[in-house]
Amino acid sequence: MKQFLPLFDFAPLGATGSATGTNPIAPLIQASDGNFYGTTVGGGVINGVSTNQGVVFKITPAGKLSVLHVFAGNGDGTQPIGGLVQASDGNLYGTTSLSIPGFGCGTIFRITLPGGTFSTLHAFSNIPPIRDGCHPQVTLVQHTNGILYGDTNAGGSLGQGVFFSLNESLPPFVSLLPYSGKVAATIEFLGQGFTSTTTVSFSGTTASRTVVSGTFLTATVPSGAGTGLVTVTTSSGTLKSNKLFRVIPQITGFSPTTGSAGTSVTITGVSLKQTTKVTFGGVKASFTVNSDSKVTAIVPSGAVTGKIAITTPGGRATSAGTFTVSSTLTGHCVYQCGSTRCGELTGYCAGSVGHAPRDSTPWSVLSGSRRRVRGRSVA
């Protein structure tokens, strides 16, 4: 079921301003630490004094926000309209649209992760002889060669904006499309210096590849690959993916298909060696990873009939078939003669059926080896 849930409200400007920032415009990014990062155009408080020039913030998936930098216009720029990019060095890069409150052409900045240290990398100018652009408003893009690219809304020699690059000697990398897939899936790569001798590996497992050009190749996710970085080795060096590649697990079968709590079940599939969780009908089970294609799990107490699911860093796999949890009766019974000729024994059992409590359950012996429990016959 789809559910919309507000997680955080940005505070409005009050008597002392808004410490959280106001008016976020740019899209968020999810960084390698799993948190989201973004900018606001307004808000910001320094030492109890409102700057109202915007902030850079971090917010967790649960909605806990922390401010990494408050813009004040004292060399750091003001009013960031564009968003952030996490570059191949792991740090965040962005732009401000102005240099000081209400004036100037803006800046390019960096914030380190982890740590949150802020530094200004470039200040735009529209004053001759330097007219290198003014008012950048878009999120920077990093090329696979490591260089950052962007454009400005105005400025330049013709006054209509500038397309620019910034070389901070950041590591080159390979970009993948997509960043997840099952074994045997074909993945596309963008990078540099691909040749006939180029090799590709998924978290250390060598993959077959086809080099299309010096900047483009395709590779097949190999059997045995796990979730992790993808490495491309060229004649000029080693390139790594700028994000983790997720190998999606698969369940192909399980045996036996029925059993009670404590039963050992063998689960077969593909990409199972990184298994972190196994469930029976949603109930968590203990397990042992035997190989990349086999996991042994124990049916847990309280399990119900349903699907078997396996979770890995690459995702979640659910069985096509249903595992049936069989009922077992444990406990003790008290009985008495139900008639003068003892043709039927009556009484009750205290215990459980299928690990669900069944206290004082009425029963009666119908024949030599069968009894009735709450109206149903049980061997």
The tens digit of pLDDT for each residue in 59-91 reads 999 999 999 999 998 989 999 999 999 999 999
Q: Establish whether domains 175-246 and 250-325 are of one fold.
A: yes
Predicted confidence at residue 14, as pLDDT, reads 67
What's domain 250-325's superfamily in CATH?
Immunoglobulins (2.60.40.10)
Name the β-bridge partners of 207: 200
The tens digit of pLDDT for each residue in 285-331 reads 999 999 999 999 999 999 999 999 999 999 999 999 999 998 755 55
The domain spans of the chain are: 29-166, 175-246, 250-325, 329-378
Q: Which CATH number fits domain 29-166: 3.40.710.10, 3.40.50.2000, 2.70.98.60, 2.120.10.30?
A: 2.120.10.30
Closest residue by Cα to residue 54 from 68, 34, 65? 68
Predicted confidence at residue 13, as pLDDT, reads 75
| Amino acid (1-letter code) at residue 289 | V
What's domain 175-246's superfamily in CATH?
Immunoglobulins (2.60.40.10)
Predicted confidence at residue 370, as pLDDT, reads 41
Q: Is 269 helix (H, G, I), strand (E, B) or coil?
A: strand
pTM, two decimal places: 0.75
CA distance linking residue 313 with residue 105, whole number of Å: 44
CA distance linking residue 73 with residue 308, whole number of Å: 57
CA–centroid distance for 359 within its chain: 45
∠ at Cα 304 (303, 306), nearest 5°?
A: 120
